[in-house]
Amino acid sequence: MIAQKIAQNLLVEILVEELPPKALESLGESFASTLAASLKRDGLAADTAAVTAYATPRRLAAHITGVLAVAADKQVSQKLMPVSVGLDPEGTPTPALLKKLASLGTDASAAPQLRRENDGKAETLFYDSTVKGATLAEGLQRALDAALAALPIPKVMSYQLKDGWTSVNFVRPAHGLVAVHGALPVPVSVLGLSSGKMTHGHRFEGSPDPISIEHADYYARTLLDRGAVIASFAERRAEIARQLVAAAAKAGDGLRPVEDDALLDEVTALVERPNVLIGQFEPEFLEVPQECLILTMKANQRYFPLLDATGKLTHRFLIVSNLTPSDPSAIISGNERVVRPRLADAKFFFDQDRKKNLASRVPTLKKIVYHNKLGSQFERGERVAAIVRDIIKKLPKGFVPREKSIQAARFAKADLLTDMVGEFPELQGIMGRYYALGDGLSEDVADAIEDHYKPRFAGDTLPRGKLGMVVALADKMETLTGMFGIGQMPTGDKDPFALRRHALGVIRILTESGLDVSLPDLLELAAAHFEGLFTEDENAAQESTAKLREFIFDRLAVNLREQGYTAHEVDAVLCLRPQLLSDIPKRLAAVRKFLALPQAEVLAAANKRVSNILKKATGTADARLDPALLTEPAEIALSDALNRLVPQADAEFKQGDYSGSLQTLAALRDLIDEFFDKVLVNAENSALRANRLVLLDRLYGAMNKVADLSRLSA
């Protein structure tokens, strides 16, 4: 029984068999947050209660502060029905009201106490009652059920309980349940387990075993001192990181472990008491490209390879063990013995691959289907090479060597046929570079073969040279054009061909690399190499290209907002659909500078007003301004100012001085104000009205070349 009348801290733990390591952290966070949220809804914990999640390979736990033994009673008001429906003219309850009261556990005796209140439509009956607060046992049972149901379980397994008949479904078989409120147990049950105070520590090093959790606040300390377990995922991760640095320093020679947050998270989820040890392998394995060795050690063994001060792989590595024996030599030698066959496999693959050059592999790409509607990888490579040729025609003469670029495009996918990439798909491109250099190809071609996949992810580097930029751009445009052409556009969170990433790659290359190729030109030249492949309908092909164009601009808008630009700033620039994406950062910078001007707010509002007027007008696009019809001083002054300032602003715009162009036109502010104060645009005289609309059209066109300033007005 729970005797506390005041708030106490609560600890709940479920002990399980080894949990999936890549999901452990999210499982722990979900368990704790859902548990706490349920207790807060029941009034058993305050909204300000601190929640601490614990997660180890064998347990999920949560510590929640300030939990009540019994929640406070609640005053509940329930809307029943209009008075006219619930009471007859004599005030007697109607059958409808009696039925409703019965559903609430009361009867006609409650009718005189019903509250009457106008709900905005009619006088309505309300039933006020007091609901007793939930006990912690009741609330925690609901919270546990909710927390287990909400776990983001990668794959559920079914297992039998000890009775041999009952089956339950959970992420892993559960073997223990702890629920302690202050120092007292809370009676709850899940997965065939009844709660208590006993748990188990480290599978091999905990002593004594089992362990009693005497108080909710002693949980982490008890597990550490008696169970040899660091219960907190974050603390265990920090301890591993500390030991990795210390072990690397102990190894000497300025060595440092490979930095890999995902690997650090994974090993944190594999151990309860980390112990970092130093292992080594034979130096002759270092003849294999270090990316291969690093990947096999990380992916297969969860080791942290050690690099020297220049970033070169050494023959030593760090092991994160779950054991801490007085003599670790057996653990070290065992891991060294296990890693050798892995490294030997990598060396074998590398040696075998080098027996054939990349050129001889290219024809075999005909046997690899890229997509049943788009042909083979060979055909894909030919399209990329053709797109490269066309891109080069749009660039200054000599910008990149034409033949080398085409060679890199044709060889880019050849390493897909190698044993090394077959074993480690993550090395595609990387191995292509090594094999290209081994075949005697030039370094810039080899770099382009590796870099044509870049940027592979958000924050990744761009290709390291101009040649790589061109091939990467062509490769991404080929993928986007082909997939959009056959209707394989991303939907919702589904993007099986990573088209969002490809679009962002195109955006980054065009905005950051200095390749001044317009987006319309790119779309047109890429589409030309798919003619007749997936449609004979010219309108359908044009529609596909238009959808791709908008998709790229949508991704660009998202990317720019992530960089800190406001939605108004992004919309003002992108609504003009600038042809050169490399112009967009300069335009946004100019808009930011313009917004800092004292005239900005008025000019933006005036532009919005002009835009609204012109939307309703017709026939202004090709009409010419007639100076003889300018009769009002304010319109004459505005026209004269446009004649004087627009040529200067246009010249600055052509030179790429977008900020200067906007600042030049900002001088029109007072004249625009005067125009709208003194001039009636929609004059009764149709000739005057048309001429004034032409003047406004000229003003709008002049002021909105850099960005549509009307979009900056709130």
Per-residue pLDDT tens for 73-103? 887 788 888 988 889 888 889 999 889 889 8
- Can you tell me the distance from the alpha carbon of 333 to that of 339, in angstroms, rounded to the nearest whole number? 10
3-state SS string over 312-359? CEEEEEEEEECCCCCCCHHHHHHHHHHHHHHHHHHHHHHHHHCCCCHH
Q: Considering only CA atoms, which of 172, 359, 144 is closest in space to residue 269?
A: 172
Q: Position 191: which residue type?
A: L
What is the model's pLDDT at position 692? Answer: 92
The two three-digit tokens of residue 538, written as one number: 């010219």
Tell me what the mean pLDDT of segment 479-508 comes to: 93
Residue 71 and residue 5: Cα distance in Å, rounded?
10
User: So what's the pLDDT on residue 620?
Assistant: 63
User: 553 pLDDT exceeds 50?
Assistant: yes
3-state secondary structure of 289: coil
At 1, is the pLDDT very low, low, confident or very high (cuts 50, 70, 90)?
very low
The answer to whether 232 touches 62, Cβ cutoff 8 Å, is no
The distance from CA 425 to its chain's CA centroid, rounded to whole angstroms, is 23
Contact 415, 435 (CB under 8 A): yes
Q: Residues 588-632: pLDDT tens digits? A: 999 999 999 999 998 999 999 998 888 887 766 667 899 999 999
pLDDT of residue 4: 42
Give residue 353's pLDDT band: very low, low, confident or very high (50, 70, 90): very high
- Reduced to 3 states (helix: H, G, I; strand: E, B; else coil), residue 306 is strand
- Identify the band that residue 120 occupies on the pLDDT scale cut at 50, 70 and 90: confident
Domains of the chain, earliest start first: 8-71+135-227 (3.30.70), 74-131 (no CATH), 233-353 (no CATH), 359-564 (1.10.3210), 583-712 (1.10.730.10)
* Rg from Cα positions in the chain: 36
pLDDT at 179 over 50: yes
pLDDT of 24 over the 70 cut: yes
Q: What percent of the chain has pLDDT over 70?
A: 98
CA dihedral 327, 249, 237, 269 (to 10 degrees): -50
Of 128-132, 217-221, 235-239, 295-299, minimum mean pLDDT range: 128-132
Contact call for residues 281 and 340 (beta carbons, < 8 A): yes
CA-CA distance, 633 to 639, in Å (whole number)? 10
- Summarize the confidence of residues 419-432 as an average pLDDT: 96
pLDDT digits (tens, 9 = 90+) for 700-711: 999 999 999 999
User: Residues 6 or more apart from 91 whose CB is under 8 A from it?
Assistant: none
* Helical axes 377-394 vs 466-485, angle rounded to 10°: 120
**Residue 575 Cα to chain centre, angstroms:** 25
Q: Residue 395: what pLDDT?
A: 93
**Strand extents, DSSP E, 17-166:** 51-56, 59-67, 74-82, 115-118, 123-131, 157-160
Q: Which pTM does this prediction carry?
A: 0.82
- Please state the separation of Cα 1 from the chain's center in Å: 47
Cα–Cα distance measured from residue 222 to residue 231, given in angstroms and rounded to the nearest whole number = 10
* Residue recorded with tokens 């788009």: 374
In degrees rounded to 5, what are phi and psi of residue 689?
A: -60, -45
Q: How far apart are CA 133 and CA 207, in angstroms?
A: 41
Contact 676, 615 (CB under 8 A): no
CA distances from 713 to 568, 595, 649, 665, 709 (A): 8, 10, 22, 17, 7
Give the chain's largest Cα–Cα span. Answer: 104
| pLDDT average, residue stretch 570-576 | 96
Higher pLDDT, 473 or 91: 473
Q: What are the pLDDT digits (tens) for 33-80?
A: 999 999 999 999 999 999 999 999 999 999 999 999 999 888 778 888
CB atoms within 10 A of CB 457: 10
Residue type, 254: G
Q: Is the pLDDT of residue 286 over 70?
A: yes
Mean of pLDDT over the chain: 93
Sign of the Cα torsion 238, 239, 245, 248 reads negative
Q: How confident is the model at residue 3 (pLDDT cuts 50, 70, 90)?
A: very low
CA 620/CA 697 separation, integer angstroms? 7
Cis peptide before 463 (omega within 30 of 0): no
Asked if residues 258 and 314 have their Cβ atoms less than 8 Å apart, the reply is no
Type of residue numbered 388? V
CA 30 from chain centre, in angstroms, equals 19
Distance CA(562)–CA(527), nearest Å, equals 30
Tokens of 167: 């089956």
pLDDT tens digits for 293-315? 999 999 999 999 999 999 999 99
Whether 653 and 573 have beta carbons less than 8 Å apart is answered as no
Span 140-175, pLDDT tens digits: 999 999 999 999 988 889 998 888 788 899 999 999
Average pLDDT of the segment spanning 217-230:
97
Top-confidence residue, 401 or 109: 401
DSSP structural state of residue 45: B
Distance (Å, rounded) from C-alpha 106 to C-alpha 526?
A: 75
Identify which of 544, 542, 533 has the alpha carbon closest to the alpha carbon of residue 376.
533
Q: Are 507 and 555 in contact (CB under 8 A)?
A: yes
Per-residue tokens: 401? 């060597």
Do 455 and 462 touch, CB atoms closer than 8 A? yes
Q: Which residue has the tokens 């007749």?
A: 532
Contacts of 164 (CB under 8 A, 6+ apart): none
Strands 189-190 and 193-194: antiparallel
Return the higher-pLDDT residue of 486 and 617: 486
C-alpha to C-alpha distance for 573 and 553, rounded to whole angstroms: 11
